[in-house]
Amino acid sequence: MMHAVVIHAPRDLRIDPVDVADPGRGEVRVRLAVGGICGSDLHYYQDGGFGTVRIKQPMILGHEVAGTVVVVGPEVTTVAVGDRVAINPSKPCGRCRYCIAGQRQQCLDMRFFGSAQRFPHVQGAFRDEMVIDAAQAVRVGPGTSLQEAACAEPLSVALHAVTRAGSLIGKRVLVTGTGTIGCLTILAARHAGAAEVVVTDISGAALATARKVGASRTLNVATDPQALADFSADKGYFDVAFECSGNGHVVSGLPAVVRAGGLVMLVGLGNDTPLPLSLLVTKEIALHGSNRFDAEFAWATELLARRAVDVRPLLTGAFPMERAVKAFDVAADRSRSMKVQLIFNGQA
C-alpha cells in the first residue's frame, strides 16, 4: 500500500493511503526518496493557504522532490528504469499565448504539484510513488545525493530571479530575507559573479547560514532596525536588491539603498505595501517581479549534480514521511531550521 502526506484542513495533516497508476505514453513512475518542505507547504499546514489560495479539498503537499524511475511508459526515451531524477513540479500547458511566447512560468493553464491555485487542486509529490511526464524527470548522476537533487526546484526560483536581473559580474547585491530562497539567491548571485552580497534578516540562525553560503556581510534588522541606513549615502549603494522576505516594510525601504539606475527584484510574495514611488522615479530605479522558473530547472539540476552550487549547509533536518507532522513543526521553527526534508521509502 502506498501512502501520501495529505493536508485536510489547517493543522490537519495526515498520512493517507493512495493509489498509483501505471505510466501511460510518455510517462514514468517514480519512487520518491526525498521531498523538501517549502514555505507554501507550511502555509497550507498552518493557515490552510495564503492570500486567496485556500485548500477546498484534501491535497497531497509537496513539490521539491527527487527519486528513482521504477517504470517507464511507452515512447519514453529520455530516462530509463533505475535513473535517479530530480522532478520538475511545473507542468505548463504548452499551448497558451505565454507558453508559445516562451514565458512558460506565466502559463494560463499551469499545473504545479501540490498547489491549490486551481480547482480541483493539483495533487503534490509527498508520496511513495507517483506518475509524471518523462519531461518532468531530470536525470542526476549516481554520485549526486537525492537530498541535494531535491533542492533543484527552489534553486531554480533563485536562478530565475538572478537571470532576470541581468549580469551581476562585479555588482554589489543586497538580499533581504535569508530563508531558503534568500540563501539560494546568495548562492546564485555568487555563481553569477556578484562581488559583494550583503544580506538582512531577523533571525540570527538564518544569517549564520547565509554567511556559510557566501554572504559577505549579514545584518540583523531585528536587533538593529537601522542597519541599512548607511547604505543610502550617495543615492544608494546596491546595484541590485533581491527582496526575498515578503515583508512589506522591508520592500518599502529598498528604493533608498539601491543606487540611481539600479534594480529592485521582488522574489518574495507578501503583503501589498505603499512604496516611495517618487524615489523610484527620481533615481530611475527599475522594479521587477520574478515568478517561479522555467528552463532554469535543468540548469539547477546540473549545478547541483556537479556541486557548482553547494546547498548542503541549507539541509538542516530529515524525517521519515510517517513523521511528517513533526517535520512540519520543526520546519516552521526558523531558530533551528532552514530546509527540512521528508524521506520516502527509507531512502536518502
Query: Which residues sit at the interface with Zn ion, rule CB under 5 A?
Result: 38, 92-93, 96, 99, 107
Cell numbers at 64, concatenated: 521539491
Cβ proximity to Zn ion, 86 vs 99, nearer residue:
99
Cis peptide before 120 (omega within 30 of 0): yes
Shortest gap between Cβ of 200 and Zn ion (angstroms)?
22
Cβ neighbours for 179, distance < 8 A, ≥ 6 positions apart: 39, 201, 206, 244, 245, 334, 338
In contact, 82 and 94? CB cutoff 8 Å:
no
Alpha helices (H) along 127-282: 146-149, 152-164, 180-191, 204-212, 248-257, 277-282
Cβ proximity to Zn ion, 1 vs 101, nearer residue:
101
The counts of H helices and E strands in the chain are: 10, 20
Is residue 9 classed exposed, middle or buried when 0-12, 13-18 and 19+ CB atoms within 10 A define those classes? exposed
Shortest gap between Cβ of 37 and Zn ion (angstroms)?
9
Shortest gap between Cβ of 284 and Zn ion (angstroms)?
33
In contact, 95 and 22? CB cutoff 8 Å:
no
Shortest gap between Cβ of 125 and Zn ion (angstroms)?
11
Residue identified by cell 520592500 is 251
Cβ proximity to Zn ion, 239 vs 296, nearer residue:
296
Shortest gap between Cβ of 300 and Zn ion (angstroms)?
12
In contact, 182 and 199? CB cutoff 8 Å:
yes
Cβ proximity to Zn ion, 219 vs 327, nearer residue:
327
Cβ proximity to Zn ion, 95 vs 249, nearer residue:
95
Shortest gap between Cβ of 69 and Zn ion (angstroms)?
22
Cβ proximity to Zn ion, 279 vs 309, nearer residue:
309
